[in-house]
Amino acid sequence: MSDLTVKHAILDNNPVTIEIRNGIFTSIQPEKENRIKITNEIPVLDAGWKAVLPAFYNTHTHAGMSLLRGYADDKELYDWLNNYIWPLEAKLKAEDIYVGTRLAASEMIRSGTVFFNDMYWHPRETIRAAESLGMRACVGQAILDAFDSEQGERQFKDAEELLQDRHTFSSKITLNISPHAMYTVRKEGLQRAADFAADYDIPVHIHLSESQKEVADCLKEHGCRPVEWLEQCGVFKARVIAVHGIHVTDRELDIMASHDVVIAHNPSSNHKLVSGVFPYHRYKKSGIKITLGTDGSSSNNNLSMMESMKMTALNAKMASGDPKECPAEEAWYLATEAGAKTFRINGGKIEAGAVADFILVNTDHPALVPGYSLISDMVYSADSSVIDTVVCGGDILMRDRKIPDEKEIIEEARDAARRLMRNEV
């Protein structure tokens, strides 16, 4: 976490100077009344009269899957998983995860994201990649034990060892445990994951009610729906970030609300895989906290939280039949402060005491002109090309749209993908 002074920034249409100490906003003053002392000891970032806005928090992704982008498009979910993604993933090595996550991190930074919540293999490589680019991340050991109980034992052992080493990671790294889904984890595994999360006070990160087939299979096998099954397994004793949550009844919404479950909504992958239309208005009515994610690059196929914001707002309007549903300011909140709060980060806002996670936006970009409402334009009009600079905890991750080592990151990812394809063939 760094010290930084930001001058010539625009906040709420007013010129300001911003002081950051130890990665925290300590003072935000009008430029004309600036009493912040600029010295040679503290780095100075000249914002060049660009707008300062909160950065984005991606609450669900599989970062290492960036190496699989475009490999198996336009497939049905279970065909995509069983016949394409899982067989190819089995060939990924630890170094591939590091390379793929670096590519994902570069893409996320370029689109204004400073944090991602990840579920994937080789979590230490994900952590190493996030640290190398200065990002925040919540990383967990994936658990899939339904097909191989011995493999499940190894995964829980790896999760235990990862938690024991948590003090060795950057302060920007936190941990979760990630049982993949109720159809890939046995009851004992779900119970064990919940106990593990409760003991270590970390979140459970799990896919839930993504497809109609998942619901039908759960009813056939367990005599209840997925949310009801997770409740029976005791999963909700822990903090739970549930992903997708498309096919849910009002009773299931009540169960999730009673246990303070947070939903990570992933509109792009929901549409691409035709998983279903997320019932935003019903979730909002139930009081369940909603956050936004991108999912992985093989099912989205990008990691842009700006796209997720726009799709969330548009889908909410269509699902409810109400053009006033999920206005721009609400979609913006979901992508920023809501995600930060979920992971106990005092971020997603530009104010003294908050972590210094922010972006500088070029308001002269054509997509932001004439400029009646910056937030509305960021949600409905702009893409990531409007973002000039990204800062995480006072550390500059991108400046003038340049990310250190990005050329090398791209070349390494291409080489890894070529090796993967040669092995696949």
In this structure, the answer to whether residues 329 and 381 fall within a common structural domain is no
Domain endpoint, select from 294, 324, 342 = 342
Whether residue 149 is found in the same domain as residue 190: yes
Cβ of 375: how many Cβ atoms within 10 Å?
16
Range of the structural domain that residue 354 is part of:
4-54+347-406
Q: In 115-151, which positions are buried (b, 16+ CB within 10 angstroms) versus exposed (e)?
A: bbbbbbbbbbbbbbbbebbbbbbbbbbbbbbbeeeee
Q: d(Cα 367, Cα 387) in Å, to the nearest integer?
A: 12
Q: What is the CATH number of the domain that holds 228?
A: 3.20.20.140
Instruction: Look at residue 412 and tell me if it is in a domain.
Output: no
Looking at the structure, do residues 183 and 219 belong to the same domain, yes or no? yes
Do 376 and 324 share a structural domain? no
Q: What Å distances lie between residue 170 and 124, 133, 162, 174, CA to CA?
A: 12, 11, 13, 9
> Does residue 417 lie within any of the structural domains?
no
In-domain check, residue 418: no
Say if 260 falls within a structural domain.
yes
Considering the domain boundaries, does residue 424 fall inside one? no
161 with 288, same domain: the answer is yes
Element (H, E) at 407: helix 406-424
Question: Could you tell me if 120 and 202 lie in one domain?
Answer: yes
In a domain, 306, yes or no: yes
CATH number at residue 354: 2.30.40.10
Q: Both 326 and 364 in a single domain? A: no
Those residues whose C-beta lies under 8 Å from the C-beta of residue 22, and which sit 6 or more positions away, are 1, 2, 3, 394
Both 362 and 258 in a single domain? no
My answer on whether 127 and 143 are in the same domain is yes
Q: How confident is the prediction along the chain (425 residues), in pLDDT tens digits per residue?
A: 899 999 999 999 999 999 999 999 999 999 887 777 777 789 999 999 999 999 999 999 999 999 999 998 998 888 988 999 889 988 999 999 999 999 999 999 999 999 999 999 999 999 999 999 999 999 999 999 988 889 899 999 999 999 999 999 999 999 999 999 999 999 999 999 999 999 999 999 999 999 999 999 999 999 999 999 999 999 999 999 999 999 999 999 999 999 999 999 999 999 999 999 999 999 999 999 999 999 999 999 999 999 999 999 999 999 999 999 999 999 999 999 999 999 999 999 999 999 999 999 999 999 999 999 999 999 999 999 999 999 999 999 999 999 999 999 999 999 999 999 887 54
Q: Count of domains in the chain? A: 2
Distance CA 380, CA 306 (A): 9
Q: Do 218 and 133 have their domain in common?
A: yes
Is the residue at 325 inside a domain? Answer: yes
**Helix, strand, or coil here: 182?**
coil
Could you tell me the pTM of the whole model?
0.97
Question: How many beta carbons lie within 10 A of that of residue 251, not counting itself?
Answer: 11
Strand 136-143, strand 204-208: pairing: unpaired
Nearest-10 crossing angle of helices 328-335, 305-320 = 130
Residues 104 and 243 placed together within one structural domain of the fold: yes
Q: Where among 326, 342, 358 does a domain terminate?
A: 342
Q: To which H or E segment does residue 204 belong?
A: strand 204-208
pLDDT of residue 175: 98
Same domain, 33 and 44: yes
Non-local (6+) Cβ contacts of 69 within 8 A are 297, 298, 301
- Residue 424: the pLDDT is 58
Q: pLDDT value at position 425?
A: 42
Domain final residue, candidates 342, 360, 380: 342
Residue 386 lies in a domain: yes
